[in-house]
Structure 1
Amino acid sequence: MKLILAVDALVPPLTGIGRYAWELASHYHGMRHELDSMRFFFAGHWIGNPADLLQVAAHTQKHKRRLLRPPKSWRQWHLRREMRGHLFHSPNYFLPESVDSGIVTVHDLSVFKYPEMHPAARIKHFESSFASTLARAAHLITDSDATRNEIIDYFGWSPERITAIALGARAEFRRRDAPEVASALSSYGLVYGGYALCVSTLEPRKRIDHLLAAYLDLPRLVRARYPLVLAGSAGWLNDALREQIERGEKEGWLRYLGFVDEAFLPLLYAGARAFLYPSVYEGFGLPVLEAMASGVPTLTSNSSSLPEVAGGAALLVEPDNHEVLRSGIEQVLCDDAWRDTAAARGLRVASVLTWERCAKTTFEVYRRFS
Structure 2
Amino acid sequence: MDARSVKLNVVFSTDCIKYPLTGIGRYAFELARELQQREDKIALTWLHGTKVRDSLAVASESAQSVQSLKRKLQNSRTVSEIYRLTFPLLKTWSLRAYSDHIFHSPNYYLPPGVKHCVATFHDLSVFHWPQFHPAGRVHLMQKELRKTVSRAAMLITDSHYTKRELIEFFDLPEERIAVAPLACNALFHPRIEAEAQAVLDVYQLKWRHFFLYTGTIEPRKNILTLLQAYDRLPAAIKKNYPLVISGYKGWDNTELFRLFDKGEREGWLKYLGFVAGKDLPILYSAATSFVFPSIYEGFGLPVLEAMASGTPVICSNATSLPEVVGDAALMHAPQDVETLTAYLQSMTDDAVRKQAMISSGLAQAQQFSWSLCADKTIEAYEQVAKFI
TM-score by length of 1: 0.92
Find the aligned partners of 1:73 and 1:211 in 2 and give their Cα distance.
Answer: 39
User: One-letter code of the match for 1:312?
Assistant: D
Find the aligned partners of 2:26 and 2:213 in 1 and give their Cα distance.
Answer: 18
1:199 aligns with 2:205: no
Find the aligned partners of 2:88 and 2:320 in 1 and give their Cα distance.
Answer: 41
SS in 2 for 1:187: helix
CA 1:53–1:301 in 2, change beyond 3 Å: closer, same or farther? closer
Q: CA deviation at 1:57?
A: 5.9
Find the aligned partners of 1:312 and 1:171 in 2 and give their Cα distance.
Answer: 23
Q: How many residues align?
A: 360
1:68 maps to: none
Q: Tell me, yes or no, if the aligned pair for 1:201 and 1:234 is still in contact at 8 Å.
A: yes
1:65-115 Cα shifts (integer Å, max 9, x gaps) = xxxxxx989966753531211111111011123523411110011111111
Q: CA deviation at 1:216?
A: 0.7
User: One-letter code of the match for 1:79?
Assistant: S
- Among 6, 10, 16, the residue aligned to 2:17: 10
CA 1:340–1:146 in 2, change beyond 3 Å: closer, same or farther? same
Unaligned runs of 5+ in 2: 1-7, 70-85
1:304 maps to: 319
1:182 aligns with 2:194: no
- Among 315, 328, 342, the residue aligned to 1:327: 342
Find the aligned partners of 2:215 and 2:64 in 1 and give their Cα distance.
Answer: 27
CA 1:50–1:109 in 2, change beyond 3 Å: closer, same or farther? same
2:75 maps to: none
With 352-361 and 4-13 compared, the bigger mean Cα shift is at 352-361
Q: CA deviation at 1:234?
A: 0.7
Q: CA deviation at 1:331?
A: 1.9
Q: CA deviation at 1:52?
A: 4.2
1:266 maps to: 281
Find the aligned partners of 1:9 and 1:105 in 2 and give their Cα distance.
Answer: 12
With 50-59 and 315-324 compared, the bigger mean Cα shift is at 50-59
CA 1:75–1:266 in 2, change beyond 3 Å: closer, same or farther? closer
- Among 152, 169, 186, the residue aligned to 1:137: 152
1:22 aligns with 2:29: yes
Counting only pairs closer than 5 Å after superposition, residues 45-194 of structure 1 correspond to structure 2 as 45-54=51-60, 56=62, 78-194=93-209
TM-score by length of 2: 0.88
1:167-208 Cα shifts (integer Å, max 9, x gaps) = 001100000000011111111101111111001111111110
1:363 maps to: 378
SS in 1 for 2:352: helix
Q: CA deviation at 1:145?
A: 0.8
Q: CA deviation at 1:127?
A: 2.6
Q: Tell me, yes or no, if the aligned pair for 2:109 and 2:119 is still in contact at 8 Å.
A: yes
Find the aligned partners of 1:190 and 1:345 in 2 and give their Cα distance.
Answer: 26
Find the aligned partners of 1:272 and 1:172 in 2 and give their Cα distance.
Answer: 16
Q: CA deviation at 1:360?
A: 2.1
Q: Tell me, yes or no, if the aligned pair for 2:263 and 2:269 is still in contact at 8 Å.
A: yes
Q: CA deviation at 1:40?
A: 0.6
1:234 maps to: 249
User: One-letter code of the match for 1:283?
Assistant: G
SS in 2 for 1:97: coil
User: One-letter code of the match for 1:32?
Assistant: E
Q: Tell me, yes or no, if the aligned pair for 1:230 and 1:255 is still in contact at 8 Å.
A: yes
SS in 1 for 2:206: coil
Q: Tell me, yes or no, if the aligned pair for 1:7 and 1:21 is still in contact at 8 Å.
A: yes
RMSD: 2.1
User: One-letter code of the match for 2:264?
Assistant: E
CA 1:84–1:252 in 2, change beyond 3 Å: closer, same or farther? same
Q: CA deviation at 1:38?
A: 1.7
Q: CA deviation at 1:332?
A: 3.0
- Among 35, 39, 45, the residue aligned to 1:32: 39
1:220-269 Cα shifts (integer Å, max 9, x gaps) = 11111111100001110111111111111111111000100000000010
Percent identity between the two aligned chains: 40
1:66 maps to: none
Find the aligned partners of 1:22 and 1:77 in 2 and give their Cα distance.
Answer: 22
Q: Tell me, yes or no, if the aligned pair for 1:245 and 1:256 is still in contact at 8 Å.
A: yes
User: One-letter code of the match for 1:10?
Assistant: I
Unaligned runs of 5+ in 1: 64-70
Q: Tell me, yes or no, if the aligned pair for 1:231 and 1:259 is still in contact at 8 Å.
A: yes
SS in 2 for 1:352: coil
Q: Tell me, yes or no, if the aligned pair for 1:299 and 1:332 is still in contact at 8 Å.
A: no
Q: Tell me, yes or no, if the aligned pair for 2:184 and 2:301 is still in contact at 8 Å.
A: yes
Counting only pairs closer than 5 Å after superposition, residues 205-244 of structure 1 correspond to structure 2 as 205-244=220-259
